[in-house]
Structure 1
Amino acid sequence: RKFVLDFFFEEKQNLRFDVGIPGKKCGCIVFSAEELSNCRDIATMQLCANKLDKKDFFGKSDPFLVFYRSNEDGTTVKVDVFDWDRDGSHDFIGEFTTSYRELSRGQSQFNVYEVTSISPIVTLLSFKVESEYTFVDFIRGGTQLNFTVAIDFTASNGNPSQPTSLHYMSPYQMNAYAMALKAVGDIIQDYDSDKLFPAYGFGAKLPPDGKISHAFPLNSNMDDPNCVAIEGVLEAYFQSLRSVQLYGPTNFAPVINQVARCAADMTDGSQYFVLLMITDGVISDMDQTKEAVVNAAGLPMSIIIVGVGPAEFDAMEELDGDEVRVSSRGRSAERDIVQFVPFRDYIDRSGNQVLSMARLAKDVLAEIPDQLLSFMRSRAIEPRPAVPASGSQSHSTATTTSTSISSIAKGRNTHA
């Protein structure tokens, strides 16, 4: 369309053109008369259009689609069409409905949709089905969580016979180590069918020759470190306090590597290993520990570190790769597998130990489902068919596990 305008050489004449579509202003272009005189054809006009407000591009829409399941059986799908705006005030263009059956036909005449409010057409170009498995799918398929415990027996914990010690065995209440162990163990033991848990200590001198060990079995059985259920782990822990000498240093790498060797033999998705480490101080072998974590990140394994006592645990945050992934020797961890928490943040002020343990278990176990899924996805492992329950005993076990699954998957502790 042509416009006839008076031209004044001696004046600066800015000409404004509003560009848009019906019901929506896309922006404006401001030209001087001199600039406009150079716009001889469409190509030049498009070059001039770079002065358009960056909020919306000249003559262009940025549509996106939002899909809704509009009925419970998923047969009907409602799709809203919007025009994207940088400031978030997206403009509604229209809507249409389709179904999974129609979409599964792929690109065809059946998958060309008229948007209801105005004339644009939405055309399906491709269709692909991908299964999104959940933590519960793997548990139902028989994936077992192998729970391993490692307890700090370094001298900084104090003499176990003294009430000031973090290892003090009071006849009236559990110490911080026992509370952390029982809080996590009571939840996670429901995912291991045999209820046999390897339990280790580190940083102590062992009888009879006083040799320092950073991965000794709490039950004193070098050939079989398994304890029966969490109560068996607690019993072995208390027995070790009576027989070993607390010493040092605080080395994490040996026990992490110990569990990693077991995990390396079970990478088919049938087993996932969770290592609980409870400590009172700063890690002495930080470089070796970071290397161990980086190596373990490629295995079906997660590490929970609970810090007890008043020490500062700033260095521990480096292992908890929520912000920056752990790295060693130029390699970064494939996955975030470490969760660190200081126990003091979860102690109930009224002294209620049950509440303290519930709070701790909720936080330290919250990341396990996603960490398990991240490993399974990285190896393209799918869950096996659900394991059917048989008999009254199996039914009882399945019911208990179902409650615990819901608890962990939602980051909530519902155990009594």
Structure 2
Amino acid sequence: MTMTDQTVRAWNILGEDLAPSQAAPAPDQRWDFDGGFALVYLANSRFGLAKPVIFADGFNSGPSNPDAMWEHLERREYAMATALRERGSDLIMLGYTERSAAIQDNANVAIACISRAIADRRGNEPLVAGGFSMGGLVTRYALAKMEQRRQDHQTAVYFSWDSPHRGAWIPISLQAMAHYLKDQDGVTEMSDYINSPAARELLRWHIDTVTADTDPDPLRAVFLEELERYGSWPQRPLKLGLANGSGQGNGLQINAGAEMLKATGLLHPYRTTTLYAQARGDDKLVAHLKRQRITNPPPAVERHTSGLPEADAAPGGTLRSFGIARDNLAALGAVECPHEWVSFVPTVSAVAIRDIDQQQDLYANVATLPPDESDLDEFKCASDNQEHSLVTPELADWLLARLPK
């Protein structure tokens, strides 16, 4: 194979769905909606639906995967599905036909699910509704919209698990590389993923081409304006937030401007391409992008940023974004990757406190701040920075203790 005919295969920048060790158990009920579905696992089939707890799926591409959703909840560090049912709660896993659709569209699925739970519930126990990552924003929007429209959602507790209330972070270097691969080799999937409606709404800084400005996407502005019209937050439920990031202001061990990924293989089609950790200040180099060709090689493209904080290393729920890129690019030659994991949902974003635009806020020691600075009623941060939306005993026990008895 020559340098000219090597091609890069697309990969998911945020990672693939969890590989299930086995399929999810058959639900007691399945509800199908326009744009999504819900799988219902009853605490006691003789009593029917009595104490509904809705867990909404998060962001990715394609339809929600029930097996991966169950794996996430039940088969990693904490058996959350079992714990819920042992305490008498009925688990409802809410999924979408397209996870990358606009948050507003999937919020309509959540509204349908909440309405169905109310209609099917025996007795008058209040609902609990929330979700992982984007699922926390989907249910936040849904409950706020129902209140604004005077629809009784009968929900006592709303929760979000590592949800980006102040915005999420995908390194501009990785966004630029996704668009560059599309331009040079027609690898469209990653660029399309970054430019999906949900990604454009979730990301605090977004670029739709290699050279675009790093402003929030207009779709994000529309989403936030709509949310504000609905009161920004549901007012009736107790609002709980969980963060997989440290609440002590401890960031990741990544130096600003450090090399994060570099293609070094002699025959690698992207040899010398280098991605750097985000640095503060103006005109900071974050990506050197180069497609090697024997004839008519294109000039290198360098991507710079201005006015951004050191978001790669921020305290928060993390993703193995650069490690995934390394694994895929290494199929074509040697690739160095000193830092595989970066922040995805900063802690302050997950607990809705301050903002993520300024370095001092992004790295704030949340534990020392007045709790009433948060938009949430209560929140819990992890002891240290963990994988985004990971279900741990520390966080799960805290949430379970606050659900209706």
Q: TM-score, normalised by structure 1?
A: 0.28
Which is richer in strand? 1
- More RCO (CA 8 Å, sep 6+): 2
Q: TM-score, normalised by structure 2?
A: 0.29
Rg (Cα) greater in structure? 1
